[in-house]
Each structure stands twice: as structure tokens, then as C-alpha cells.
Amino acid sequence: MADKELGRVRSDFVTSVSKAVIKLLLDDLVEDGVLNDMESESILEENDSRADKARCLIDIVKKKGDTASSKMIVHLKSRDSSLYEKLGLSCSQPSQAVPAPDPRKPPEWSDTLINTTEQFWKMKMDDQSIYHVTKDAFKNRVALLITNIKFTDGKFNRNGAEKDEENMRKLLSALGYEVVQYTNLTGKAINKALTDFSKHPKLKDTDSVLVVIMSHGKLGAVLGVDCKEPLCANEEQDAFEVNNIYKQLSSDKCPALLNKPKIIIIQACRGEERGAVLVSDCAKPDLVCDDLKQPSPSLPADEESLEDDTLRCVHKEKDFISLLSCTPDTVSYRDRNQGSILIQYIVQVFNTFAHQDDVEELFRKVMQRFEDFSVPNKRQMPTKDRCTLTRRFYFFPGL
């Protein structure tokens, strides 16, 4: 087996391979899909000496199995034939080598969260450009999850939000967070829940927090379950101002979270009327629901279960990053059975890539996921809102 061959020659390889050959091998292995760009950069940038770079390279490839190890041996033969012969290697490859992934094809999405490796975590702990995560801090993670599903006025009920709540609870738990969960809150109760959360005893020992709020919304606010049809523009509405999140969790109000990532995900809405079976999570009554009995003949069948969600907010505090369901002038969609498209994509991307990507890259991949939005004549693009993270944050699932 090729991985055992690499194990056999590991010591001699580390002693003998040149820095130039290491760089060439990295280029070859990235092109083959054995390593990704982040792994290649980490090997070069996070190891000071040539020997450490060589050691890290051979160990990572060896752990990826027989096919990856075979490819490295083949490339070593072409890049440094004398070293190849000195090590006594054989470049026979397995009969069914895995081809390099086609970047034009979507990845195979994982149904469960892939755990990071101990080696990857240890390698990152030497990187000063990331927020450090210790095993003790990992055990003290805590997240706030608020979902409004049923409203005092039943026509505001958010069909499919039960699935969002379930999906986010499972994902947060898998990422190592103790989930503080609330359902069907007024705006005042949302504010109290956030205030109580800012005093949670685990915050002083955690490495990060996640706050997820899903409800109806208007610009700059999330609506509570007592929201109603406004009689006039100045009428007070049952709402929670989004900026309160950043005020309550800021360094002065919540010193326990000083210099720790505060990750915000908001699925709320502002939108326009989109047809008989589409419900907009908006404060305006004419956008909340339409004639549900007679679907519009111009609406394709696969659009009939989609509903609208939109929100935008602004914050200035340090170490925050937020992902909103769409840009200010567009709508976002929620399936009545499967839940919000944003939440579905977040779960897919995090399950598949959280073991190796930082949170900003994960959010970028979620946004990229919407480039292939399959509903004709409908578009949605989530937005990262004024990220103030000063380093990269990795979740290290399974640590």
C-alpha cells in the first residue's frame, strides 16, 4: 500500500527533500485534488523549517490514504528522480485511482457534520492569524436560537419554520454549542432573551457564540409574535431592533466576549408580493398572504411552496460577523415543507466544509450556493454584513 510506503520512508524524506521540491509537490497535489489551497498554504506558511514543511506534507498525504499517497510518489519520481530512487519507492498506482474533482461540478454534500482532525487543529494552533480554540473553550460553547413560528394573528404564521428550527438546533449542537432555545417570542421577550444570554455563565470560558434569529421582519428589526397590520406608518409595532444584538454583545456591555467571535445569522424578511402561494414575512398586510386557493397560472409548479424572507441591519462592534438572508432590495425564499433556502444551504455547507474552512469562507460558499438557485425567474443572494473579525475563526467540529 502506498500510504505504508510513505510511512516507511518518512524519516529519509524529511531529511533529504529540498524546499523547491516540496513546493512543486504541493502544486502537483493541489492540481490533482489531493490537497486544497488552504492545506497547501498551511504547510508552507505555518511551518518555519524545511524539515517541518516536509514532515507536515508527508503526514497529511499519508493520512488521506492509498490513492493520495500513490499520487505523491508518482509526482516525486517526476520532480526528483534521484531522491525517488534513494528512497526505494515504487510508483505502482491502485487499479481504480480517484480522478481529480471537476471544479465545474457541485460537491457531494454531506448529510452529517464532518469532524476535523487532531492534526489540523494542532497545525492551526501555531497560526497567529486565527482565533485560537482550546479544547476547554470548545466544551463551553453556547448559542442562542430564537424562532418565531406561530403568531397571535394566525395569518402571519411562518410555514416551514419548524424545519428551520430543527435543522439549526442539530447543526449548532453538532458544532459543539449548548443551545439556548426560544420559540414564539414578542419583541420585548427577544430583547430579554438576548440580555439573559449576554450574562450566561459559560461566556467567560467559551471561544465564540452564535446567535440565530428567525422571524418576520422589516428593515432593521425582527418582528415579535404580536405583530399586527399597521394602521398608519407611525404606529408602534411589536419589534426587536437588530442593532440591540451588537449593543448587548459588544465589548463594553459583555466583556466576557471580548476578542471572541460573535456570529449572527438572521432569517427575517422584507419583500414584495410574489404570487398567490407566496407569503412575504413583511409588516405590510398586502404582502403577508394572497389568495392561497388559486395559484397564479404564471407561477411554475416548483415555486408554489416558496415564501419570502428579507432583512438588513448595520453594526459597528469588533469581532462580529453576520449573514443576512438577502440583499436589501431583494427577497429570500422559504419552502413550506423544507424550511428557508438559506438555512438548508447553511446546513449543507457547514456539514461538508466546516472541518477545514473558516467561518468567512463558509459564508462565501453559502452565498455561492445561490448561484445555482434552481427556481426559474427567481433570484436570492445572502449578504455578509460589515464583518469586523480581525482573524479567521475555525469551528473545529469534533474537537
Residues designated as active site:
216, 269
Cell 447553511, residue located: 346
Q: Work out the angle at residue 211's Cα, subtended by the Cα atoms of residues 167 and 363, and round it to the nearest 5 degrees.
A: 70
Bridge partners (DSSP) listed for residue 340:
334
199 close to 139: Cβ distance less than 8 angstroms: no
DSSP string, 345-383: HHHHHHHHHTTTSBHHHHHHHHHHHGGG--STT-----E
Name the residue type at position 146: I
178 close to 202: Cβ distance less than 8 angstroms: yes
- For 74, the grid coordinates are 508518482
Q: What are the distances in angstroms from CA 26 to CA 22, 60, 142, 356, 359? A: 6, 11, 38, 17, 25
**CA 71 to CA 48: how far, in whole Å?**
25
- SS3 assignment, position 227: coil
Please count the other Cβ atoms lying within 10 Å of the Cβ belonging to residue 229: 14
Bridge partners (DSSP) listed for residue 93:
none
Q: Would the CA dihedral through 176, 178, 180, 181 be positive or negative?
A: positive
